[in-house]
Structure 1
Amino acid sequence: MVIRRTAAFACGLAACALALFTVPARAGLPTAPGPETAPVPGLDPAATVVEAMQRDLGLTAEQAAARLANESRAAEIEARLRARLGGAFAGAWVTGDTAEHLMVATTDAGQAGVIRAEGAHPVIVRRSLAELTAAKRALDRAAADRAPAATPLWYVDVRRNLVTVHAADPARAEAFVARSGADPRAVRVVRSGERPRPLIGERPLPLRYDLRGGDPFYLGGGSIRCSVGFSVRRGGTSGFVTAGHCATAGATTTGPNRVRQGTFQGWSFPGDDHAWVAVNENWVARPWVVTGTGLLTVRGSRPALVGAAVCRAGATSGWRCGTIRQLGVSVHYSQGTVHELIRTDICAEPGDSGGPVVAGNQAQGVLSGGSGDCVRGGTSYIQPVNEILSAYGLTLVTG
C-alpha cells in the first residue's frame, strides 16, 4: 500500500506546515516565555525547511510539505511494526519523491499481512536486523584491534539486507572482513572514493550573542573553528553539543564575535564523535537552528528513517539538505574509527563540524565529517543526538 498523500495536498501547504511545526496549546494554562522559548521574529519555520528541500531535493513546495507529513507518519508506523515483528524485523525505509512508500523488511513471510495492515509494503529477506547488526559489530571489533587504512566506512544497508564495506582497496577490505569473523555471506565490499575527514575550518564570522545551532565557535582564542550543534541543559547549566574532534580536555570556546563563551565539559573521539560545552552568562541557549533565510525552532529529537529528508546547518557551507542513506555506519578517519553514525548525501565543508542536522523540526545529530565538498558534491556522516544526550545526561532545549 501507499502512504496517502490526499490529506497532505487537500489541507494546502500552509495548513500542512502548521500541522508539522506547531504544538497545540493547552487551554487554561497561561505561559510565560523564557529566553529559550521566545518566538522567532518574522519567520515561519516550516517555510524554511520547505524552501531548502525545494532547492536541494528538486521538489515543489507541495511535494516538500507532503514528504514531511509522510515521513512523520512513517516513523510512527515503523516503531509499531518494529515492536510487533520482534526478531523477524529487518529494517525499514521510505521511497518516492514525497516518501509515499514505506518499505518494511522481515524474515517471516507470514507477517506480510501485518505490515500491509499498517499501510506499508512488506519486503521478505534472508537476514534479520539483529543478524546484520551482529556482522557489523564483528567488523567494529576488528577495527578496534587494527584499523583498516583503506576502508573508510561500513554499515548495515537495510535496503540490500547486507553489511556494506566501502574501500579504496577492495582486496585489503576483503582481508579485513575475513579477519573480523563476520559472516562473509552477509557482507559485500564496494570500491569507494569517499575520504572521511573531520571538517574544521577558518573564516571571518558574524556577531551573535544568542546560542544557535549552525553558528560558528572558536577553540580558545585561536583560529580553529567548528559549528554549534543544538542547545542543551544539564541541571541549571546551559550549553551546546558539537563534534568530539573539535574538543580538547578543558578547552575553552569563544563565539563568532570572539566573546568568551564556554568550556568543554565532556568529549569523545574516536569511537564516538561528540562533546558538550557549558556556556557562561553572556550566552543564552536558544532552540534555534540557523537556516538560509532565518531560524528554525527545534521541537524534539525523534529519529528519522533511512530515505528520509534531512537538512544541515554549518558555519562554512550554510543550510543544505539531502537524504539519509544508511544508519549505524562505522567510519574510519585517520585518527580512528567512529561507530553508529548516520550517512547522508548532504555535502559539507571544513568548519561545518559539529553543526546540527534536522529532519523537519526534529533534531537528528551533529556533523562528524564528510567526503567530497559542496562544489563537486559529497557525503556527510552524522553523530546521532540522542546518544549525545544520554552520554552526558543532557536535555535538548526545544521551543
Structure 2
Amino acid sequence: MKNNISLALRVITFIFVAVALVLGGVPAIANAAVHAYPGMQISTDTSTCTAGMVGHIGSARYVVTAAHCYKPGERVYDSVGNGIGWYEAAYGNDDTVEEEGFALVRLWNNVTPTASMGKFGISSIDELPPQGAAVCKIGATSNWSCGSVTRASTSDRVMSDLEALPGDSGGVVYRGTADGQAAFVGIVLGTTVLGETVVEPAEKIQRLINSYGPTASNEFRWYVTK
C-alpha cells in the first residue's frame, strides 16, 4: 500500500479465518423477508465490511460499500447469515485519493432495499459539510458514533474524527436534519496516520459509479426515505 503523506489509509477491512466451504456459483434467490439498509453488516466467507448506502441502476438494486471490500463474485450475507446478493462490480482500491472508488453488492430480487435505519432514515444527500459540522456513522464493528468534520471538505474527501475500527469500512456517514431524518454524507474508507477517518463523499461515489459502474444506459440513483 502506498503512503500518501499524512493521508495514507490504513485499510480497515476485517479479515477472518473462513470456517465454511466456499461454494461455486450464485443462487438465484435469497431468504425471504430480508432487507438491505445503510449501516448493516455485510460479509463474505472471508471478510466483513459495512453497507454505506443503497441505490439502483434501472431495476438492478445495490448496496454500495468501500472499493477495498470488493471480493469478485463472492456471495454476501447479513449479520445473521441471510444471503443478500453478490459482489458484482467495483472500481479502485482505496490505496490513495486517486484510487478511491466503490464496490457494488447486487441484491437478489426478494431482498428489499431501504434507506431507513430504524427510527430515522436517509432522506437527502449532503453536499460536502463544512469544517466543524457534526457527523455520525454506523459501522459493523463500532456501531454508532458521532464526531465532526476536521478539515474543509473537498470533492474528493471529507476528513473527520469519527471512530473507525476493522469491519467499519464502507459504513454510512450522515448528518442529522431539522426534520429528524438524516442526510447522507458519504462512506467510511479508513484512517490516516494522523488518526483521522477518511470519508468518501456521496457525490463522488455517484459520479464514479456512473462512469465506471456496470452500465451507462441508466443513471445510478440513491434510495431515500419519503
Q: TM-score range by the shorter chain?
A: 0.7 to 0.9
**Structure 2 counterparts to residues 130-279 of structure 1, below 5 A:** 147=2, 149=3, 151-153=5-7, 196-201=9-14, 209-219=34-44, 222-267=45-90, 268-270=92-94, 271-279=99-107
Give CA deviations for 1:81-118 in whole Å, capped at 9, x if unaligned.
xxxxxxxxxxxxxxxxxxxxxxxxxxxxxxxxxxxxxx
In 2, Cα distance between equivalents of 1:308 and 1:359: 8
Contact 1:348-1:378 within 8 A present in 2 as well: no
User: TM-score with structure 2 length normalisation?
Assistant: 0.75
For 1:309, give the aligned amino acid: A
Question: Matches of 2:130 and 2:73 in 1, distance apart?
Answer: 36
* Residue deviations 1:279-337 (CA, integer Å, cap 9, x gap): 00242100123xxxx443111112122221110000110111111112239xxxxxxxx
- Where in structure 1 are there 5+ consecutive unaligned residues? 1-146, 154-194, 330-339
Distance across 1 between alignment mates of 2:202 and 2:119:
19
2:167 is matched with which residue?
351
Aligned with residue 309 of structure 1, among 134, 138, 141: 134
Q: Distance in 1 between matches of 2:159 and 2:196?
A: 7
CA distance in 1, matches of 2:107, 2:205: 17
Aligned 8 A contact 1:311 1:322 in 2: yes
Residue identity (%) = 24
How many residue pairs are counted as aligned between the two chains? 188
Residues 285 and 296 (structure 1), Cα distance of their counterparts in 2 relative to 1, 3 Å cut? same
For 2:9 and 2:207, how far apart are their aligned partners in 1? 26
More helix by share: 1
Q: Which amino acid aligns with 1:259?
A: N
Any idea what the Cα deviations from partners look like across 1:253-290, whole Å, max 9, x if unmatched? 1222222221223212131132221100242100123x
Post-superposition offset of 1:196? 3.1
Q: Could you tell me which of 205, 211, 214 is aligned with 1:388?
A: 205
Aligned residues: CA RMSD: 2.5
**Which structure is higher in RCO with an 8 Å CA cutoff and minimum separation 6?**
2
> Is residue 102–residue 209 contact of structure 2 (8 Å, CA) maintained in 1?
no
Q: Which runs of 5+ in 2 are unaligned?
A: 17-32, 177-181, 211-219
Distance 2:203 2:4 in 1: 30
The answer to whether the Cα contact below 8 Å between 1:367 and 1:381 also exists between their aligned partners in 2 is yes
Q: What are the superposed Cα offsets for residues 181-226 of structure 1, whole Å, 9 maximum, x if unpaired?
A: xxxxxxxxxxxxxx731222269xxxx922121111112xx14100
- Deviation for aligned residue 1:150: 7.6
Q: Is the radius of gyration larger for structure 1 or structure 2?
A: 1
- 2:122 aligns to what? 298
Q: Sort the Cα spacing of 1:279 and 1:307 in 2 relative to 1 into closer, same or farther, 3 A.
A: same
Report the counterpart of residue 319 of structure 1 in structure 2: 144
The residue type paired with residue 185 of structure 2 is Q
